[in-house]
Structure 1
Amino acid sequence: MAPRQPQAVGRLLRVALVCRDLELRAGVHAALEGEHSIDMVATGECGQALPLVRASAPDVVLMDFDGPGVSAPERCRLLARYAPLTRIVAIARHCDDEGLLRSALRAGVRGYVSRSAGVAELVSAIEAVAEGAMYVGRGAARLMTGLVSAELQSAEHDALSALTRREREILELVARGYDNRQIAQVLTLADKTVRNNVSSVFSKIGVTRRAQAVVRAREAGFGLS
């Protein structure tokens, strides 16, 4: 895989690669290491996924979805639980397998590409999921558009259902554009309490930035009244 032309970027995206296939791992690592928007911070075997990600704190992890031992979906669920700020891109042998894609989405995967994907597609997937979007490779997108939409809506509904009454009140105010100080005044709460609740809300709905939280909240009907 030949590196793409440099593009204008801000902070480099920290990327980890977890793959059982030594040849694939070496090829992907070499290709992405030449990308000017990416910092390859860690590479390892499938069984090292959780400690490797927790030690290197990547923005995105490329995960071999055909690894042995613990099932790939279970490995992804563990990462989603213990490293919630890291987005997962699955690299799958069969990109047109509906059951595999469904299990990937349910396991918290945000990107899904074929092993045969070129470097441009890998970078597109990494950049998309790092921004909070979903990315599905061309081979799966043609078949799974409806499935992806349904699974994402279900996941977002579950995340919002997990919010406490207080967290829903805070998300409503975040969606209306209130900052933490204003939320504290409206709800008569300490600044630290608001900060803690805002962090909890962001974690539960799967965002890291306030702008992302506003978009997610308004899509769910918050802040519109």
Structure 2
Amino acid sequence: MHLPALNIPNLLLSLWRGTLECDHSDSRSTWTWAALRDVVIWKHHDFLVGVARLYLPGSFDRPPHDPAEKLNSGYKAWEFLNYIYGYAPALLFGILPFQYWRSFCKLVLGIRILHQHSIKAIELRTAHCVLIEFSIEFERLYYQRKPSRIHFVRPSIHQLTHCAPETEHVGPLGLSTQWPIKRTIGDPGKEIRQPSNPFQNLARRGIQRACITGLFRPVFILE
């Protein structure tokens, strides 16, 4: 969850807006990818994100808020997923230089595939290929082998190359990473009804859940 929904969006938006730390030997005026640095373009982009909210079905749960107003104050992971991998490919077409936009679309394709509940083998291979291509192109387009930009290449970029192989080992990552864990952590808290001794009550709920899980555990009889 944190990789596609928080780490990658934070890095890309910082680059596109030209807000990422700039070395003294570098110059933001040479950042051809910083298309959202212009205030007028950024405000218009913000407006389009807000308007698009009206066209999302209710099943999307939490539509993205206007990034110019909410990006640094409570923007949720689910909002980043819808914004970056849903809206951005269309909203940034013609705004980002084409080579950057095309590379970004490879990232979007790979992440969308990996968030499916059911993934075919050929789709997984496609996701692996495009994420590797994006990682390589990221260094070529943004980093450009310049020591002054080495901080552009964060571990999250390299981690993308491991997502598809890990999906093959453990299944769709959206079903086996932080999403279900956070749900599991949140559910027992909602079951607490007594305000006194909250941690003792929480422990009791955990024990009760473990007992119920043990009762329904399948039993295999060997013949």
TM above 0.5:
no
* TM-score, with structure 1 as normaliser: 0.29
* TM-score, with structure 2 as normaliser: 0.30
Bigger helix fraction: 2
Bigger strand fraction: 1
